[in-house]
Chains A and B, each alone.
Chain A
Amino acid sequence: MRTIRFLLQKEFRQIFRNKIILAMIIVMPSVQLMILPLAADYEIKNINIAIVDHDRSSYSQNLISTITASGYFKLTGFENSFKEALHLIEQDQADLILEIPQGFERNLIREGEQKMFIAVNAINGVKANLGGSYLTSIIKNYNNGIRLELSPATRFSRNPSIEILSSNWFNNLLSYRVFMVPGILAFLVTMIGGFLSCLNIVKEKEVGTIEQINVTPIKKHHFILGKLIPFWILGNVVFTIGLLISWLIYGIVPVGNLAVLYGFIGVYLLSVLGFGLLVSTFCETQQQAMFIMFFFMMVFILLGGLFTSIDSMPEWAQIISKLNPVSYLISVMRMVILKGSSLNDIVPHLIITFVFAVVLNTWAALNYKKTT
């Protein structure tokens, strides 16, 4: 026990001595947490539309003003031909084209039916889908209006209609910040823990001080614990700062129990740090450790279920995400902070994360060799 005390004292002295790194550990996550959630917004708004109106009738004029008044669309081009409009799409100045054919008004009234053409830049499939369906529903409403105007009788006709009542629980304004802030905080805590721990032992290897440690009768698990605890505390500090920022800047107060949240973070940090130390024991240079950690961090973050949904991934990627500690943290953060889930709800996550922590740290301790 006494050995650990000396190890901790040494690690903390080194951490506090290097003011630049200490400042980076605290400032970088804070600044990123303040800014990045503002950038992470999927909500599709300001869809740029180019319109080609071959009809130039009062109906088509009306339709166009209904579309621009809807608030979803921004008219960025009013072209004479489809080809010109397509050019706007190529330059990324328009997301979709509405082409109103000649004779639109006349045909609609005489034939009772008229087609209309919409072309969508579908490189971003989701945006395309949504833009297309917004536009069709606006046209549909407009169509209903015309129908009423042309044959008021239909108002009383027996057309069954289904009304859809939708409600959004836990975040009824559908605010992306509420969703992103806990997630980004999860990433930041993970990165701090992972990067610091992976660089640590390998730095002692590079500088040569590890030799001096290896000739001492120090126990392997003491050494690993001595590395683990300081970063564990640092991780908790960063997490706490993050919670304060979420509260002060975004007004997000955890709905669930704080103790549950901290309990989970405590176990989670052990698993991430264990992973970092494991990487550290495998590498000879800091550069190697950094590249390997970079690789895993990218996979952990991008497959973590925050930016894209895990359900939509192929089978094998879903299996990977079962082995991804970050995905458990993301969902626990969302559960406890936003939905008010209780300890019972997160027990499965907690158990799995605990298993990660035990396995990774044991592996790291076994893989740290005092002899070659």
Chain B
Amino acid sequence: MKQFIIFLRKEFAHVLRDRKTLLILFGMPITQILIFGFALTNEVKNSKIVVVDNAKDVASHKIISRIEASRYFEIEEAMLNANQIEESFQQGLIRMAVVFPANFNHDLVHQNKGQVQIIADASDPNTATTLTNYVSAIIQDYQAEMDKVNAIPYRIEPQVRMLYNPQLKGVHNFVPGVIALVLMLVCVMMTAVSIVREKETGTMEILLVSPFKPMMVMISKAIPYLILSLINVTSILLLSVFVLKVPVNGSILLLFAESTLFIITCLTLGIFISVKTNSQQVAMLISLMGMMLPTILFSGFMFPIENMPKALQIFSNIVPSKWFYIIVKSIMIKGVGFSEIWKETVILIGMTIFLLGLSLKNFKIRLA
């Protein structure tokens, strides 16, 4: 035990001595949460579009003023022909064009049928579908009002209620995701170089000849980072609640406990990488180049996992941040208790034990 404390003190000294790295470790996650919390949203708004109004009549004006009033669109100055539309798409100036034919209102009133053409730049399909939907909805609203005026019988009126997030704010979905993403990558990176650096500089040999058990080495490597990460989690949660205004509807204590578990899982993953590799560069390339995009994609907050091909859905199960994202979302937004997330918790515990076992096994091979 005394040995362990001595060793732990050495690890703390390493971490605390390097002020520059320490500053980075504290500053980085906080800044990222702030930037991404505010800037990331899967909403589509303020999109630049053009309206080509060949009709210039009552109906087209009414619809256009509705489009203008919507926060989703910013209408650029009008253009006249189809060639100019294509050119603007190619220069990336606009996302969509809405074209009213000449005699729009006339056709609508006299032939009961008016046509509106929507041309979207579908090189970004998400924006294209979303914008098309928005414009369609605006036109349908306009039509519904006409229907009401015309008193159409047998109307079913659907009343839609938005649960948990009535204003459909992007932050509520993204903040838990960003927390899971940033915590995972930072924690993995912290420990990923820890052991391999000692191998590279040769200090590992000294540890190997000492009567120290591998388990002890690993734990004492992880503890300073665990404490550091807990401080980070605290500041991240404070930021989420007070700056990003995302509520914690469930138990804060539970959230903290689950975060601690997740941090341990990620630190263990980092240690496993460190044990397995032989140079810092390899360890870093794996934890950065190898993990960054997959973690972003498979956490599930950016892209719905149920949309992925079956094989990738299965693959996503091994990404710890996926489970933590579900946990954070459940506690913070839905406000549910442990009984709803015990499964995810068990999975994270299982992963930790598995990774720890693998690291130990590989560590022993190095001794031989």
**Could you tell me which A residues sit within 8 Å of B by CB distance?**
18, 20-21, 24-25, 28-29, 32, 35-36, 38-46, 86, 89-92, 108-109, 112-130, 132-133, 135-137, 139-140, 142-143, 146-147, 150-151, 154, 158-172, 174-176, 178-179, 184, 187-188, 191-192, 195, 199, 203, 283-288, 290-295, 297-299, 301-303, 307-309, 311-314, 317, 320, 331, 334-335, 338-342, 345
With beta carbons under 8 angstroms apart, the residue of A112, A160, A342 that contacts B108 is: A160
Given A178-B123, A291-B189, A292-B24, A164:B312 Cβ within 8 A:
no
In Å, the complex CA distance between A341 and B93 comes to 12
Name the residue on B nearest A121 (C-beta). B163
Consensus secondary structure, chain A interface: helix
Residue-wise interface mask of B (293-307) relative to A, using a CB-CB cutoff of 8 A (1 in contact, 0 not): 110111000111011
Highest count of chain A CB atoms <10 Å: which of B114, B147, B289, B292: B289
Given A163-B114, A170-B89, A309-B44, A192:B340 Cβ within 8 A:
no
Does B28 contact A291, Cβ atoms closer than 8 Å?
yes
Does A32 contact B158, Cβ atoms closer than 8 Å?
no
Known: A167-B120, A297-B288. 5 other contacts (CB 8 A): A123-B164, A125-B41, A161-B112, A163-B113, A298-B32
With beta carbons under 8 angstroms apart, the residue of A122, A143, A166, A199 that contacts B155 is: A143
In Å, the complex CA distance between A92 and B340 comes to 10
Does A116 contact B150, Cβ atoms closer than 8 Å?
no
In Å, the complex CA distance between A334 and B128 comes to 14
Name the residue on A nearest B143 (C-beta). A162
Q: Is B77 an interface residue (CB 8 A)?
A: no
Given A116-B156, A128-B162, A308-B41, A297:B25 Cβ within 8 A:
no
Does A171 contact B91, Cβ atoms closer than 8 Å?
no
Given A41-B307, A123-B333, A24:B289 Cβ within 8 A:
yes
Name the residue on A nearest B120 (C-beta). A168
Complex interface: chain A residues within 8 A of B289 (CB): 24, 28-29, 191-192, 195
With beta carbons under 8 angstroms apart, the residue of A18, A140, A170, A191 that contacts B122 is: A170
Given A24-B285, A191-B288, A286-B281, A166:B136 Cβ within 8 A:
yes
Residue-wise interface mask of B (17-33) relative to A, using a CB-CB cutoff of 8 A (1 in contact, 0 not): 01011001100100110
Name the residue on B nearest A86 (C-beta). B163
* Stretch of B50-58, B166-174, B202-210, B350-358 on the interface side: B166-174
Given A90-B336, A118-B161, A158:B123 Cβ within 8 A:
no
Name the residue on A nearest B48 (C-beta). A311
Name the residue on A nearest B197 (C-beta). A287
Residue-wise interface mask of B (99-135) relative to A, using a CB-CB cutoff of 8 A (1 in contact, 0 not): 0000000001100111111111111111111101101
Does A164 contact B108, Cβ atoms closer than 8 Å?
no
In Å, the complex CA distance between A137 and B128 comes to 19
Q: Is B42 an interface residue (CB 8 A)?
A: yes
With beta carbons under 8 angstroms apart, the residue of A41, A123, A158, A187 that contacts B329 is: A123
Name the residue on A nearest B137 (C-beta). A133
Does B112 contact A169, Cβ atoms closer than 8 Å?
no
Given A139-B156, A164-B139, A285-B18, A195:B146 Cβ within 8 A:
no
Does B312 contact A112, Cβ atoms closer than 8 Å?
no
Name the residue on B nearest A335 (C-beta). B92
Does A174 contact B129, Cβ atoms closer than 8 Å?
yes
Complex interface: chain A residues within 8 A of B132 (CB): 166, 168
Does B112 contact A120, Cβ atoms closer than 8 Å?
no
18 examples of A-B residue contacts, CB within 8 angstroms = A36-B297, A39-B298, A112-B154, A115-B158, A146-B156, A151-B154, A154-B152, A162-B114, A162-B116, A164-B136, A166-B132, A169-B119, A302-B40, A302-B296, A307-B40, A308-B302, A312-B45, A345-B90
Complex interface: chain B residues within 8 A of A341 (CB): 90-92
Name the residue on A nearest B185 (C-beta). A294
Number of CB contacts from chain A to chain B under 8 A = 378
Within 175-201 of B, Cβ neighbours of A (below 8 Å) are at 182, 185-186, 189, 193, 197
Given A135-B158, A159-B150, A166-B132, A309:B281 Cβ within 8 A:
no
Q: How large, as a class, is the contact surface on chain B?
A: 35 or more
Q: Is B64 an interface residue (CB 8 A)?
A: no
Within 56-115 of B, Cβ neighbours of A (below 8 Å) are at 74, 86, 89-92, 95, 108-109, 112-115
With beta carbons under 8 angstroms apart, the residue of B24, B39, B125, B162 that contacts A176 is: B125
Complex interface: chain A residues within 8 A of B173 (CB): 123-125
Name the residue on B nearest A42 (C-beta). B126
Complex interface: chain B residues within 8 A of A164 (CB): 115-116, 118, 135-136, 139
Does B154 contact A174, Cβ atoms closer than 8 Å?
no
Shortest CB-to-CB span from A5 to chain B, Å, is 25
Shortest CB-to-CB span from B221 to chain A, Å, is 13
Complex interface: chain A residues within 8 A of B152 (CB): 147, 154, 159
With beta carbons under 8 angstroms apart, the residue of A162, A303, A342 that contacts B142 is: A162
Given A125-B42, A161-B112, A167-B117, A147:B153 Cβ within 8 A:
yes
Given A28-B285, A113-B157, A286-B193, A122:B304 Cβ within 8 A:
no
In Å, the complex CA distance between A179 and B20 comes to 39
Complex interface: chain B residues within 8 A of A307 (CB): 40, 296, 302
Does B163 contact A119, Cβ atoms closer than 8 Å?
yes
Name the residue on B nearest A138 (C-beta). B158
Does A169 contact B86, Cβ atoms closer than 8 Å?
yes
Shortest CB-to-CB span from A40 to chain B, Å, is 5
Complex interface: chain A residues within 8 A of B248 (CB): none
Complex interface: chain B residues within 8 A of A125 (CB): 41-43, 165, 168-170, 172-173
Name the residue on B nearest A306 (C-beta). B124
With beta carbons under 8 angstroms apart, the residue of B47, B122, B157 that contacts A169 is: B122
Does A301 contact B158, Cβ atoms closer than 8 Å?
no
Does A122 contact B163, Cβ atoms closer than 8 Å?
yes
Complex interface: chain B residues within 8 A of A151 (CB): 153-154
Shortest CB-to-CB span from A172 to chain B, Å, is 7
Does B142 contact A35, Cβ atoms closer than 8 Å?
no
Q: Is B38 an interface residue (CB 8 A)?
A: yes
In Å, the complex CA distance between A294 and B286 comes to 12
Does A40 contact B303, Cβ atoms closer than 8 Å?
yes
With beta carbons under 8 angstroms apart, the residue of B44, B137, B281 that contacts A21 is: B281
Complex interface: chain B residues within 8 A of A187 (CB): 293
